[in-house]
A and B are shown apart, each in its own frame.
Chain A
Amino acid sequence: MARLTRRAALAGGLTGSGLLLAGCSQTIHADQLTGAAAFQHVLDYGADWTLHTQRFLLGGGALAREYRPSDISRGFKANGTLNPDYPAYNQAVSEAFANWKLVIDGMVARPLSLSLTQLRRLPARTQITRHDCVEGWSAIGGWTGVPLGLLLKAARLQAGARYAVFYCADNLDGEPAKGGAQAPGQYYESLDLADAFHPQTLIAYAMNGQPLAVPHGAPLRLRVERQLGYKHAKYLQRISLTDTLAGINGGKGGYWEDRGYEWYAGM
């Protein structure tokens, strides 16, 4: 109650009633509420509303704004893992990723395993877009890569496939990556098919005309321009098609989603 008293003192005078109200709700309940499953469930309705409203508005496949080369950020901030730094990855770096493979499997008729050379030969798209981090900052960068929709069409989705799940080579909990989807801290992400087939959704291998640097996810990263930065998974190794996100790590469809962030990050 000490905090309530301090707050009451600060809030005193003319604005007392209003601020005190906030003070009560906050000091007494907010932190407990945040941990309560039932309350989180209520808040989830808000996130669902956001998803459905944006899906309704964005149904036509509207494109994210593209910028001019002069708009590109000078020091595009790298976030999350800056270097996976474990023997297998370091060896791949030293080989200029000559043996790196991107696997597409799961609910597809034709599983694929593509080298960087093969990916670079496919039709590419280059786009200069704004990257919005959930923390609040924005940076503008140019990206070149293969539209994901093209790869998914080549792999031929099975009926019932609803999500593309992206498995990454980095481990954000600081342990050396142990490999396998279930390793704790292994970064992963997922998109529904509306975003997976969006023309600006790329498996990018170049940034600002240069091969992707290690801090930005070398050799491959996802670009999903109508969502926040944590959806743009780096160090891509495998894309698996599935009908449900349940049973994959925390079951929420991504590293940050398992830690409380929204699965739909268009807001």
Chain B
Amino acid sequence: MSTDVSVEPMGPAVEKPRHTRREVIYRHTFLVRVNHWINALVIFLMIGSGLNIFGAHPRLYWGEKGDASDPAIASIGARMGPHGALHGVTHIGAKTFDTTGVLGASMSHGHMVGLAWPSWIILPGFQDLADARHWHFFFAWVLIFNGVAYLAWSLAIRHVQRDLWPTWKDIGLLPRSVWEHVRNKHPTGEEAKRYNVLQKLAYLGLIALVLGMVGTGLTMSPGIDAFAPWLLDLFGGRQSARTLHFVFASGIVLFIVVHVAEVFLAGPINETRSIVTGNYHVPPDRTAKVQQAKERG
């Protein structure tokens, strides 16, 4: 527990100095905190090595099959311009974009080179399918063990059922929650002690995305396909699974961007402390403060 007197800019202290005791709750169990930080590190290794692997054949298809002679849903390539300069070209559906500098052609060691994804994001930092695969599959195992530990523990202590699964009441509060997020108003008091409905949906959505990543990743394995051919039916074929693997990964990147942004908006110190130590300092109840101010006024 800790006390806090400095963050109450509620008018001059005309009354006798009043120490407000801040309530501290134990929000994240030890295992969840360890899970979180392993994920936070490994996800970047997976994205970097995954994009390196993608770069070996930067075309996405739908169905079981797809190679250079088949139409692609999306593709990244490079072409030589009229003055010998390399241009990055990205196709999405029937649309073509010049993505020079980022996709298709980008600077590496001072030279413009043909690379699907730029060297600063891929792992290793140059086109290297063999090593990228070693990285990707090693850290995929790390993520799988981490994810299984998280899910088993969270289901066992009813974290998922109690804290993440939205109630009908939550669903009813969805429009209000969206409006509060738009106005950057974060819950206080009793409401801050539990996840709001958008948080619940975001975290459940992340779990679903990760399961989708594992499922589509395994579907790309010819060995696993022999063992579980239903995976091919579930994801619409091996090349569809490869495309969905990229789409789900994009969803995870979107989650990370919003997640980190919300940490900054909701209070970076308190939020980061809670996922390091487990202790979360509950923001004082906004409505109660308004009530007090009225009584004083």
Q: Does B226 count as interface, using CB distance less than 8 angstroms?
A: yes
Shortest C-beta distance, B213 to chain A (Å), equals: 15
Cα distance, A75 to B65, chains bound together (Å): 11
Tell whether, in the assembled complex, residue B227 and residue A65 are in contact, meaning their CB atoms are under 8 Å apart.
no
Instruction: List residues of chain B with CB within 8 A of the CB of A135.
Output: 56-57, 129
Q: Kindly state whether residue B282 has any CB partner on chain A within 8 Å.
A: no
Query: 1/0 contact trace for B18-40 toward A, CB 8 Å?
Result: 00000000000000000000001
**Are A14 and B224 neighbours in the complex by a CB distance under 8 Å?**
no
Q: Is the CB of A267 within 8 A of B242?
A: no
List A residues 1-39 near B (Cβ within 8 Å).
Answer: 3, 6-7, 10, 14-15, 17-19, 21-23, 25-27, 30-31, 34
A248 and B285 CA atoms in complex are apart in Å by 73
Closest A residue to B49 by beta carbon equals A30
Among A109-165, those with CB < 8 Å from B are 130, 132-140
Question: From B54, which residue of chain A is reached at the shortest CB distance?
Answer: A136
Residues of B within 8 A of A133 (CB): 57, 67
Q: Does A47 contact B (CB under 8 A)?
A: yes
> Which A residues lie within 8 Å of B69 (CB)?
73-75, 77
| Most central of A63, A71, A138 by chain B CB within 10 Å | A138
Tell me the residues in window 209-229 of chain B with beta carbons closer than 8 Å to chain A beta carbons: 220-227, 229
Once A15-B257, A22-B48, A138-B238 are accepted as A-B contacts, the answer to whether A65 and B68 lie under 8 Å apart by CB is no
How many chain B residues sit at the interface, stated as a range, is 35 or more
B: residues with CB less than 8 A from A are 40-41, 44-45, 47-48, 53-54, 56-57, 59, 61, 64-70, 119-120, 123-126, 128-131, 133-135, 137-141, 220-227, 229, 232, 238-239, 242, 256-257, 260-261, 264
Q: How far is the CB of B110 from chain A (nearest CB, A)?
A: 9
Complexed CA–CA distance, A221 and B53 (Å)? 27
Show 28 residue pairs from A and B whose CB-CB distance is below 8 angstroms, ordered by the A residue. A14-B264, A15-B257, A22-B48, A25-B45, A27-B125, A43-B134, A44-B134, A46-B134, A46-B139, A46-B140, A47-B134, A49-B141, A58-B223, A65-B229, A130-B65, A132-B222, A132-B238, A135-B56, A135-B129, A136-B242, A137-B67, A138-B64, A138-B65, A138-B67, A138-B239, A225-B222, A227-B222, A260-B134
Q: Residues of A contacting B67 with CB < 8 Å?
A: 73, 75-77, 133, 137-139
Among A25, A30, A47, A74, the most chain B Cβ lie within 10 Å of the Cβ of A30
Complex: chain A residue closest to B264, CB-CB: A14
Size range of the interface on A? 35 or more
Please indicate the chain A residues that have their CB under 8 angstroms from the CB of B128 in the complex: 34
B56 touches A228 (CB 8 A): no
Please tell me if the beta carbons of A18 and B256 are within 8 angstroms of each other in the complex. Answer: yes
Total A-B pairs, Cβ < 8 A: 168
Chief secondary structure at chain B's binding surface: helix
Docked complex Cα distance between A65 and B225 (Å): 7
Contacting pair B137 A46 (CB below 8 A): yes
A3 engages B223 (CB within 8 Å): no
Q: A47 contacts which chain B residues (CB < 8 A)?
A: 134, 137-138
Are A261's CB and B65's CB within 8 A?
A: no
Contact A138 B125 (CB under 8 A): no
Known contacts A132-B220, A136-B53; is A26 also within 8 Å of B123 by CB?
A: yes
Q: Which residues of B contact A7 (CB under 8 A)?
A: 120
Closest 7 CB pairs of A and B: A266-B223, A46-B138, A22-B44, A260-B130, A75-B69, A136-B57, A137-B67
Q: How far, in Å, is A251 (CB) from chain B's closest CB?
A: 16
Contact of A30 among B40, B125, B137, B141 (CB under 8 A): B125
Cβ-defined contact, B224 with A54, below 8 A = yes
Knowing A15-B256, A18-B44, say if A30 contacts B226 (CB, 8 Å).
no
